[in-house]
Amino acid sequence: MKAVGSFPTLAKDQVLIRVDATSFSTRDCLERLRRFSDKELKNSVWVPGHEIVGRVVRAGTNAQSWLDKRIAALLPYGGGCSQYVCIDTKIAIALPEETDTLIDSNKVVALLSTYMTAYQCLESVIKPKEEKIAEALVKEKDWSPNYAIPLIANYAGQKKSALFAEKKPLSGKNVLIVGAGNPVGLAFVDLAKTAGATVCTLSHRAHLNPIRGIGAHFWYELSEKAAWEAEFGGKMDLIIDTVGDANNDPSFYKVMRTGGRLVRVHTTSCGQKYLPPQPEQGFQLFNSYQRINDNAINYDIFRSCNDDKKLFAEDLAYLQDLLQIGKINLKICSQVGLNAVKGEFEKVMAAKTNGGVVVVRPNTMM
């Protein structure tokens, strides 16, 4: 990409986005801290913001149909806290134009950073395995026929969400949310309750109030391992780890019921050292669900979008519908300009967002 004046020269399939909204999350904070402590990365350029909503202002020769369209996109390597972002059209998701009856950019970006992960994970877990087991076996050659969690859900586009079925699909089930006080964790609590589950939560004490506020049934401080192991031992049907524990904590298996499932979510922490994308790789990723063992998988929202962008767009549209009719409790903590990002970093790290999403408006003076 070559710079011409203040804007780059676009490749044929690229578009330039004027960013209306992005988010600043724990993921960004942890990446920032990691870079400060890594000699290789400390002095390299990195910009936070992994989700954007904006408008196409310039387009490459093969992307002219995108010009002036409102879009959303996920940025696996950050960069959203910028006035303009250049992306390939293969990661762009077209959005309806904003009107009084549609969801504004702030809320769309907040949905992307929270409820999208929670919705897709829970839909995939509760969907009958027969509907996806064949696809799972194709995508993962070593996938066990007895493995009950399919790779991806497929209800939202047809407005037949398993989560919002009249018969509560998680009724009688115990769900444990680890790291329940962050925005993604709270989204899991909200949706799991909607699906009829008894929702148990683990978090730092600073997050207790928002967890109570959204209606979780049980809470323990995450560090009180002996206490919650004793209370929940062998009772959990589903464990959602939003902290992204890379060590496969044995405590989770102690509280898991026989035949239970663990989903580890990589949205609030980066499990591996940050590496910039290679030019020949672009944003190429792999399966959205990666198997850890017979009881556990990893979920990655960026891979989910890459695997099936059409389904991802349908799910996002469905979440906007649910938000409009009051079925989900999206919470935005603050809306700030680029000049206030440093202050938001300190707020997020001190757990002072009360579980809400921090939205950054790069092109708005605030």
* 209-237: pLDDT as tens digits: 999 999 999 999 999 999 999 999 999 99
Which domains, from first to last, does the chain contain?
Answer: 3-113+331-360 (3.90.180.10), 115-321 (3.40.50.720)
The phi, psi pair for 20, rounded to 5°, reads -85, -35
Q: How far apart are the first and last CA of the chain?
A: 32
Are the CB atoms for 176 and 202 separated by under 8 Å? yes
> In sequence order, what are the beta bridge partners of 86?
16
Gap between the Cα atoms of 34 and 254, Å rounded = 31
Predicted pLDDT at 259 = 86
With residue 193 as reference, give the H or E element that holds it. helix 183-194
pLDDT, the chain, mean: 80
Whether residue 157 is predicted with pLDDT greater than 60 in this model: the reply is no
Segment 103-113 shows an average pLDDT of 92
Whether residue 295 is predicted with pLDDT greater than 80 in this model: the reply is no
E strands present in the chain: 3-4, 7-8, 14-24, 51-59, 70-74, 84-88, 92-94, 174-178, 198-203, 218-221, 236-241, 256-265, 289-293, 296-299, 332-336, 357-360
Segment 8-17 shows an average pLDDT of 93
Which tokens belong to 345? 């970093």
* 179-201: pLDDT as tens digits: 999 999 999 999 999 889 999 99
Predicted pLDDT at 166 = 65
Predicted pLDDT at 147 = 34
